[in-house]
A and B are shown apart, each in its own frame.
Chain A
Amino acid sequence: MKRLSSIRRIPGVALLLVAAALSAQDLVPYADQSVVSKEAWLWNDDERIAARFDPVKIRERAAAVAPTLSSSSRAPDEAQGLRYMAGGCRVNGATVDYSYSSGTAFGRYPLRLTAISNFSDGNVSITAKACSGTGVCAQNSANMNRFTPSPGTASSTIYATWLEEDEGSEELGPVYIPRSASYSHGIRQLYTTTVFTCSEIGESSHYQVKDSLVTISGQDPMPVWGSTVEVRGTISWWISYRLTESANPVGCTFPVICSSKAGGVAGAFGYAPSVHEVVSPFTIDGQAAVITNGSVDITFQ
């Protein structure tokens, strides 16, 4: 739980903003035809100086290394002395915090988004704007899409055997004989996917594991049972929670009786998280039953 709360404080996602070669033709304004028409190696000193200090040319050169929301682009050559300042990052129109990370071949601007779990389903637009030291700016946009599909499911048949007192005989007294029954055991695991049109470092928000609903169904006698769910993910690498009586149990048709339990956490994230559910204890008529297939697993990939 402590780990979870710390996760909520850190950015839900960090986007890698890489200053890269950008073919932003709309950022290239008018240029001196006399200079452009000549090959560079034919320029004289005056023409070289004019091109070097021409504000249009300066913007043109800067635009070539303006930021883009892509991790596949090439890095700028910092040796050229081009350092970038982010002009601002906006998520769904609202400015969000960011930081600049230097010291690598990339210029990185991790966005400090609020926890992904705070975003509802649908599209979220993310716009990043960066400016050069000379005041040339460029911007790029990406989208984050949240989607809640049908729950993941897994099931098994629980075989249960317990001991029950039988009358026995007059001379030997009562005997304890095994009784058996089988039950359907199923889990419906809610989850939400998050996909970015730009890169997401680690893709840890890819799956958000939410509530679990476990149902055991069978015929009389029904067990008194408990259930624990363990979720493993790349951020919240291990979370365990106990299920309680479901407020919205699964309905069954006579003579089948259903018993449902539910529970969950809001922030179990991971790239390919797995859910492991274990039924325990499992008692029938006050007797602990020996059960087989008391656990089910779901892996999101």
Chain B
Amino acid sequence: MKATLNLMMLIGISAAGYAAMIADGAYRDRLVAQSDTGKVLYRMIACDDHLLSAADCHACEQQRLARRIHQKWIATAAKMYSVVLTTDEQAIVAQKISAEEGHFRAAAAHFHALASAALDIRCGKDRTALLPELAKQGVTPQELDLELLHLPTIADAERAAATDYVSATRESAREYNTRLYVLQHLQAIVRKRALDERVPLDVAEESFWSEIARAIHTRIVDPAFSMPERKGILVSP
């Protein structure tokens, strides 16, 4: 009788925990914003820093949302206005990428160690036993836990472990360095528009990004968040 009672209590606790987990998962999966170029889910911008106050955390999330949306707008504007880097700019980007080769390898080794450890754990290995070896590669237990959160299944972990992180990191650096020049080209477009329309730069910029936002149907779904500023990206606010 007592054993049955204990079993029922255990099932009850597990069920409550599972429900909380599902609820938390759904909460993190909720749609915050979307456009023709993609969605932004809450977990993509979530502030998990428990040291921050609720208000600071929310400000942090709003800032992350703004950055993600701005990146989509920049990519769209570059396409719409056919922005291409000059030969000199391309050469500088290539030079910068070449200088960072050592960093790409180090970062790739780090990410690969994380993904491999996550795969090992998903396949049943003991997390604690992996930590000493990971520590030698500069991987912290917190990073591993975050990786496990990102890779909930064996299939996810296998996919991550098979990723060519050297190429992916190199590509991300190329995107970053290219975007710095793209911003300069877009700034030139906005300056010309301000001159042609005889309006201040910030007004021209706001109008420019409003057009882009409309073009890809950017909208904020979660009322807790607001549409990011449409100025201060190209010219000083």
Contacts and interface: CB of A to CB of B under 8 A. Distances in A.
B103 A292 contact: yes
A103 interface: no
Interface in B59-79: 60, 64, 67, 70
Contacts of B146: 287-288
A181 B96 CA distance: 11
Interface string A159-179: 101011101000011111111
A180 B150 contact: no
A221 interface: yes
B133 to A, nearest CB: 17
B208 to A, nearest CB: 16
Interface in A172-209: 172-182
A286 B168 contact: no
A292 B183 contact: no
Interface stretch (B1-9, B46-54, B121-129, B219-227): B46-54
A287 B45 CA distance: 11
A159 B140 contact: no
Contacts of B12: none
A286 B48 contact: yes
A177 B46 CA distance: 17
Interface centre among B67, B160, B171, B176 (most CB of A within 10 A): B176
Given A180-B176, A182-B176, A290 B106 contact: yes
A181 B100 CA distance: 11
A221 B67 contact: yes
B49 A255 contact: no
Interface residues of B, number: 47
Contacts of A30: none
Contacts of A221: 67
Interface string B14-58: 000000000000000000000000110101111111000000000
Contact of B102 (A176, A220, A292): A292
Contacts, number: 82
B165 interface: yes
Contact of B172 (A172, A177, A255, A285): A177
A286 B169 contact: no
Given A177-B168, A220-B67, A286-B49, A159 B142 contact: no
B168 A173 contact: no
Interface in A50-69: none
A161 B150 contact: no
Contact of B43 (A161, A165, A177, A287): A165
Given A163-B111, A182-B176, A220-B67, A176 B103 contact: no
A255 B60 CA distance: 20
Given A161-B107, A219-B180, A286-B46, A180 B102 contact: no
Contact of B160 (A161, A176, A180, A254): A176
A178 B142 CA distance: 18
B143 interface: yes
A257 to B, nearest CB: 11
Contacts of A182: 96, 100, 173, 176-177
Contact of A159 (B103, B110, B159): B103
Nearest to B96: A182
Interface string B105-124: 01100110000000000000
11 contacts: A159-B103, A176-B150, A178-B169, A178-B171, A179-B172, A219-B180, A254-B235, A254-B236, A288-B142, A288-B143, A292-B102
